[in-house]
Amino acid sequence: MIAIQLPDGSKREFPQAVTVAEVAASIGAGLAKAALAGRVGAGADAKLVDTSYLMEADTQLAIITDKDADGLEVIRHSTAHLLAYAVKELFPEAQVTIGPVIENGFFYDFAYKRPFTPEDLAAIESKMSELAKKDERVTRTVLPRDEAVSYFKSLGEAYKAEIIESIPADQDVSLYAEGKFTDLCRGPHVPSTGKLKHFKLMKVAGAYWRGDHRNEQLQRIYGTAWASKDDLQKYLIRLEEAEKRDHRKLGRELDLFHMEENAPGLVFWHPKGWTVWQQLEQYMRAVYRDNGYLEVKGPQILDKHLWEKTGHWDNYRDNMFTTESEKREYALKPMNCPGHVLIFNQGIKSYRDLPLRFGEFGQCHRNEPSGSLHGIMRVRGFTQDDGHIFCTEDQILEECIAYTQLLRKVYADFGFTDIIYKVATRPEKRVGSDALWDKAEFAVMESLRRSGCEFIVSPGDGAFYGPKIEYTLKDALGRQWQCGTMQVDFNTAERLGGEYVTDASERAHPVMLHRAIVGSLERFIGILIEQHAGALPVWLAPTQVVIANITDAQADYVAEIVKSLQKQGLRVHADLRNEKITYKIREHSLQKVPYILVVGDKEKANGAVAVRARGNQDLGVMALEDFIAKISADITQKA
């Protein structure tokens, strides 16, 4: 007998080997119909399998349906295959390459003689629906590698053959077939195409074969798939809202910044956008000042040998811009840490000087691939609120705890309270001993525990010099943005000769904590624009108040108001144009100005202002002093 243990602890026994589908059927017809896959085994050894998977010995089994996260991933993976099936039906000459699951959906890359059009996309989606309704079985077969290569070559699928040829010759490969279409895949997949009902193709984009710009360009079709029609509709509505909030669109409409091909991946800040930048920078400068940081500034270009010493040259060379002068090779800094060590190295440091906290608004450059650039969210030139704490080993935990508390306060001031905490541990390619990595990993995890933060562990995702905490915030649409970081590094200061004198009058290397709260200021401003749909909080808004007159008779009174508000440190604009007041109100409302003050003869006579707040709110007439008190409270409260 074979005993199958279910998640609720119950067991079912079968006289012979049994499939996942058969176990589901033994539980009930409803579960048999809903089953998409199975999770066989326990703990770290558990694996996701098809419903046709045969269990030949006692094991644990969870039946996966569309209610499970794994079930949704199986749906999306299978829908990617359905997309490729439909493309081959409509465009037989197209070659298929790869089609993975991504966040909220999937994509598939194709090689075809001409670009796919929007009309093609609609036809492909229609064909996918037609194929899904056939409810064709999805079956798995296993072939020796060389036999699989020959099979795909016989189909004219050169890309698939190349992928399989990269697999060791002694390995077998699995293929999945549905109807006339067969694809290389590890699986698992849904038992039949009829399980795929709620999907939509989103767009076509360019992509390079194997992600290398030196290879031929392919066409990437993106799609989304969900467990229910309602989930799909909600996602599409979120996308519509995200499109309205797109920082690139709002950046143009609100005259904040622009980007162009004369400087790919770099930002041209306009006066309004630079005002927002300055408010963010000054806020973070106050954070430095109030939390024991000393602000420093390092050079943009450093000798190649310095980057070799730190290990960046070996681990990060492809992302660095380089230059040469007098037969010496230099690199534009992609990060600020080496420069801070060189500042630390000036003069003798004692244990009494530690922890020593340096902060810099450091301008960095990284040679990001052009295909990854995205407005001001992903650029080649950016400024970080970068900080490094030089401390003793005994001070690590306390510093990490204090930093997490500080980060929470900063994020709350910007309107973000939902934070996800992740610890990224040692990667395979790293520097330093395992003993030091043990200490560093313990410190970051324990600091989160003592801060009352639940966290997830991401094995192998740490920096090459140390583990890190990644702080990810959720925005108004539920999207996640990884911004803050804290990295514990026992290696870099030592590699660059950083030392301090201990209480025993001996020399020791400080531990270096790399930390950033908002990260790239450019990216964080982009996040803020999308979070607030361009309607930035009063304290951040480039123009906080517009004063609009009804006739020329109030021009002198407008000038008085401007002077009074500017004395309060407010950012004010006077609109004295010979236009109807309704026109002025509408125009400044579209510019998302927090407050519009309208003044006519009555307001002038009474020393008052008619106040309109953003969102078409008429707050009525009030004394200027009362308005100043109101807006000052908004700014103080970060409202």
Q: Quote the radius of gyration of the chain (alpha carbons, Å).
A: 30
Q: Which two tokens stand for residue 352?
A: 């009494």
As a dihedral over the C-alpha atoms of residue 249, residue 252, residue 254, residue 255, rounded to 10 degrees, the angle is 160
| Of 185, 197, 337, 584, catalytic | 337
Task: Answer yes or no: 272 catalytic.
Answer: no
| Calpha distance 298→321 (Å, rounded) | 17
What angle, rounded to 10 degrees, do the helices at 229-245 and 521-531 form? 120
Structural contact between residues 435 and 487, judged by C-beta atoms closer than 8 angstroms: no
The alpha carbon of 400 is separated from its chain's Cα centroid by a whole number of angstroms, namely: 23
Task: Answer yes or no: 388 catalytic.
Answer: yes
Residue 514 assigned to a binding site: yes
Structural contact between residues 423 and 469, judged by C-beta atoms closer than 8 angstroms: yes
What angle, rounded to 10 degrees, do the helices at 555-567 and 624-636 form? 40
| Of 384, 487, 531, 544, catalytic | 384
| Of 189, 245, 365, 468, catalytic | 468
Task: Answer yes or no: 304 catalytic.
Answer: no
Task: Answer yes or no: 394 catalytic.
Answer: no
| Calpha distance 317→410 (Å, rounded) | 33
Residue 247 assigned to a binding site: no
CB contact set of 156 (below 8 Å; sequence gap of 6+): 95
CB contact set of 593 (below 8 Å; sequence gap of 6+): 541, 543, 544, 545, 546, 573, 614
Counts for the chain of helices (H) and strands (E), in that order? 20, 35
Task: Answer yes or no: 384 catalytic.
Answer: yes
Give φ, ψ of 596 to 5 degrees.
Answer: -115, 120
Task: Answer yes or no: 77 catalytic.
Answer: no
| Of 77, 357, 388, 604, catalytic | 388
Strands (E), 524-571: 545-549
- DSSP 8-class letter at 206: E
Phi-psi region of 63 (alpha: psi -120 to 50; beta: other; left: phi over 0): beta
Pick from 459, 507, 152, 510: which is nearest to 355 by CA? 510
Structural contact between residues 37 and 188, judged by C-beta atoms closer than 8 angstroms: yes
| Of 77, 220, 514, 532, catalytic | 514
Q: Which residues pair with 303 in a beta bridge?
A: 330
Task: Answer yes or no: 337 catalytic.
Answer: yes
| Calpha distance 421→482 (Å, rounded) | 9
| Of 160, 197, 366, 532, catalytic | 366
| Calpha distance 119→449 (Å, rounded) | 54
| Calpha distance 112→92 (Å, rounded) | 10
| Of 109, 120, 183, 386, catalytic | 386
What's the burial of 526, exposed, middle or buried (CB within 10 Å: 0-12/13-18/19+)? buried
Residue 509 assigned to a binding site: no
Give the residue numbers annotated as catalytic, written as ranges. Answer: 337, 366, 384, 386, 388, 468, 514
- Known binding-site residue numbers: 337, 388, 514
Q: Which residues contribute to the annotated binding site for Zn(2+)?
A: 337, 388, 514
